[in-house]
Chains A and B, each alone.
Chain A
Amino acid sequence: MKLYEHLAKEVFSRHGIPIPPGRVVTTPEGAAAACQEIGDVALKVQILSGGRGKAGGIRFASTPEEAARQAQALLGTDIRGLRVERLLVEKKLQIDREIYVGIVADGASRRPLVIASVAGGVSIEEVPEKLIVRQIIDPTWGLLPYRTRQIARRLELTGDLARQFGDILVKLYRVFRATDAELVEINPLVQQPDGTVIAADGRLNVDDDALFRHPELPRVEDGTEMELRARKAGLSYVELDGNIAVMANGAGITMATLDIIQHYGGRPANFLDAGGGAGVEATAQAIELLLSRSPRALLVNIFGGITRCDDVARALVTVAERRGGFAIPLVIRLVGTNEKEGQAILQEHGFEAYRTMDEAAAKVVAAAAANGGQA
């Protein structure tokens, strides 16, 4: 779960990381009032995407009138494909230096990884490798102050700046652990002309699998309406931009199925991993979900391990009965646990099933093309 900047900063602030004074507003009037109170402000769109500055999502204002005008121009627009509903109106900072600092749950080292650079303010992907400092942290002991001094030294930060950087980094690590974060990031961490250091931006991505133990955190729903519906049903669903709906069991085989469809010149509409051991009703719901997107064809690719082929076959029959048949071409590949039973059920109801992914993928691509031609 990604938190909006203003929510991330609230969490940072609770852990003692300095942030600029600011207000979240949803109207031009709100922006004017915030400006009246704060003075020179930055108006920042609150969307779950990086690169918003480049996309025109950050404006500045010195007077309430100007703030209202800028807010008017931003609210309700789409930036990077996301609707702008909220702005963070924040004190405009004077910037001497911009530093990047982040901590990620790192798969390669299986440990927390601190990433820092003195080339802050731009996306870390754009920073040359030689300007990036990385430090693996042992979660058993955590991030002790000496480590922050080492990192500061490698960044060539000195004196009071190094001290403030270290203090903020220790607190950022506490946020990382306390919120079960996959990623915490301050970019930029700004040194102001008076020498004080402050978090000008903030990202906090919380591990979805740990949300159960964080009732204190706000909930932010990210994704399309369909993706949210699927998540509620316990399904792993991803929307793509093609026209062939795909259901498979297991993330790896689902990805492989998408690749093969593309290999044959087709375009997958979505990705639905029915997971292991879904029952008849859950599988039927998954199929309904896919059909509700009006694809040109549907491919069901099952290699049953925990998943039972007869359950999948019954789910298909259930959906067919509910909807009075399938309006689009349906291609089924069904092998593995209880394969014979599954194939028998399908045959009885007039469906045919393929034995290999290869045949099924080629067939569904052709079927979708033929169906698209009629539409």
Chain B
Amino acid sequence: MPIIVDERTRVVVQGATGTQGRFHLARMQAYGTHVMAGSSPGKGGEEVNGVPVYDTVEQAVFHHAANASVIFVPSAGAKDAAFEAIDAGLGVIVIITEHIPVHDAMDIMAFARQRGACVVGPNTFGIISPGKTKLGIMPAVAYAPGPVGIVARSGTLSYEIASALTRSGLGQTTVVGLGGDRVVGLNFVEVLKRFEEDPETQACVLVGEIGGSAEEEAAEYAKSMAKPVIAYVVGRSAPPGKRMGHAGAIIERGRGTFEGKVKALEAAGIRVATLPWEVAGLVAEVLPEGPARNGNGGGNGNGGRS
């Protein structure tokens, strides 16, 4: 069973009439995601790829029982879009938009907390439950259904690792992109908790990076987990004080260093891969023997694990 999103997820795409929105709406549809509606202020009544577009998210919920949103709205309007989605009662809100002001992100997370909404991102590639649904911009070819849960801060790096796992016959239950910004919604601990509770996930992969303390917190939580966790962390060669592309990826005040993170993860019994292509091998070592590992053989239910 995947976590957070699955075949019951009914999506409204916010910013559906923009270039990115149109492109990825079609890609998501092609993957099998139930894209019910789009929303774009002033564009109500239009269609994108056969999907009706409304002026407000509220209408998309009313007419199509949408329960999740993917936001492609440009950064200056993204806070408004996220508040609209949360206020409309959507349970899962995936914010693809990058360069959202950090104070807007803090406001979004505060409102989401009050309403119990799950926010993924901002500045994320999204979330995919292979074979079921994808809410985001990730290339579908990198993934296959299977028993591994992946949670990553970074997009392209997680494609790299997911595709290596897929090539090794290790499919995924769900792959979650937390987002590269300093303030994001879902964090490692919350995602690991859900993987721990998910009967189909048998091992977790954590892809972290320097900066902040999210990996250290994940390590602390992982001590209580029954399922094995494999980690890979980037930024070993990053000098302090330099922001390495992501707003969050910066060693500040001597905190958030590569060494500190690896030490915390290893102290929690997590094996940390030195190189990205070692991840698949380490996962194969910790996976329980027996069940079909990949969607190629119809992984769901085939191994009788759930």
Distance of A170 Cα from B248 Cα, bound (Å): 27
Contact in complex: B154, A259 (CB < 8 Å): no
- A182 on the B face (CB < 8 A): yes
CB distance from B76 to the nearest CB of A (A): 7
Which of A107, A112, A238, A303 interacts with B248 by CB under 8 Å?
A: A107
- B153 on the A face (CB < 8 A): yes
Distance of A248 Cα from B99 Cα, bound (Å): 19
- A164 on the B face (CB < 8 A): no
Contact in complex: B253, A262 (CB < 8 Å): no
- B31 on the A face (CB < 8 A): no
Contact in complex: B243, A255 (CB < 8 Å): no
CB distance from A184 to the nearest CB of B (A): 12
Contact in complex: A252, B207 (CB < 8 Å): yes
Given A212-B76, A250-B156, A262-B237, A305–B137 Cβ distance below 8 Å?
A: yes
**Across the interface, which residues of A come within 8 angstroms of B249, CB to CB?**
251, 255
- B105 on the A face (CB < 8 A): yes
Which of B75, B183, B244 interacts with A110 by CB under 8 Å?
A: B183
Which of B105, B107, B243, B277 interacts with A357 by CB under 8 Å?
A: B277
Distance of A234 Cα from B277 Cα, bound (Å): 31
**Across the interface, which residues of A come within 8 angstroms of B101, CB to CB?**
180, 207, 209-210, 213
**Across the interface, which residues of B come within 8 angstroms of A125, CB to CB?**
253-254
Give the dominant DSSP class at B's interface: loop
Contact in complex: A358, B246 (CB < 8 Å): no
- A306 on the B face (CB < 8 A): yes
**Across the interface, which residues of A come within 8 angstroms of B160, CB to CB?**
253, 256, 303, 357
Could you say which of B110, B154, B160, B185 has the most chain A C-beta atoms within 10 Å of its C-beta?
Answer: B160
Distance of A238 Cα from B244 Cα, bound (Å): 7
Number of chain B residues whose Cβ lies closer than 8 Å to a Cβ of chain A:
61
Contact in complex: A262, B213 (CB < 8 Å): no
Contact in complex: A140, B110 (CB < 8 Å): yes
Distance of A107 Cα from B102 Cα, bound (Å): 10
- A254 on the B face (CB < 8 A): yes
**Across the interface, which residues of B come within 8 angstroms of A112, CB to CB?**
106
**Across the interface, which residues of B come within 8 angstroms of A279, CB to CB?**
none
- A124 on the B face (CB < 8 A): yes
Distance of A106 Cα from B109 Cα, bound (Å): 12
Chain A residue nearest in CB terms to B255: A125
Distance of A182 Cα from B102 Cα, bound (Å): 7
CB distance from B210 to the nearest CB of A (A): 8
Distance of A252 Cα from B105 Cα, bound (Å): 21
The digit string for A235-275, where 1 denotes a CB below 8 A from any CB of B, is 01010100000001111111110111111000010010100
Could you say which of B76, B154, B237 has the most chain A C-beta atoms within 10 Å of its C-beta?
Answer: B237
- B180 on the A face (CB < 8 A): yes
Contact in complex: B103, A305 (CB < 8 Å): no
Give residues of chain B (268-291) contacting chain A, Cβ–Cβ below 8 Å: 274-277
**Across the interface, which residues of B come within 8 angstroms of A210, CB to CB?**
101-104
CB distance from B135 to the nearest CB of A (A): 15
Given A336-B139, A357-B160, A107–B183 Cβ distance below 8 Å?
A: yes
Which of B75, B159, B182 interacts with A107 by CB under 8 Å?
A: B182
Distance of A358 Cα from B276 Cα, bound (Å): 9
**Across the interface, which residues of A come within 8 angstroms of B245, CB to CB?**
236, 238, 250-252, 254-255, 271, 273
Distance of A100 Cα from B161 Cα, bound (Å): 43
6 additional contacts (CB under 8 A) given A111-B110, A112-B106: A105-B103, A106-B183, A110-B184, A252-B154, A252-B234, A276-B137
Task: Report, nearest first, the 4 A-B pairs whose CB atoms are least far apart.
Answer: A252-B154, A251-B245, A250-B156, A252-B157
8 pairs across A/B with beta carbons < 8 Å? A105-B103, A140-B107, A250-B245, A252-B245, A256-B276, A258-B238, A260-B276, A276-B137
Q: Show the binding face of B for A, using Cβ within 8 Å.
A: 75-76, 99-107, 109-111, 114, 125, 137-139, 152-160, 163, 180, 182-185, 207, 209-210, 212-214, 217, 234-239, 242-249, 253-254, 274-277
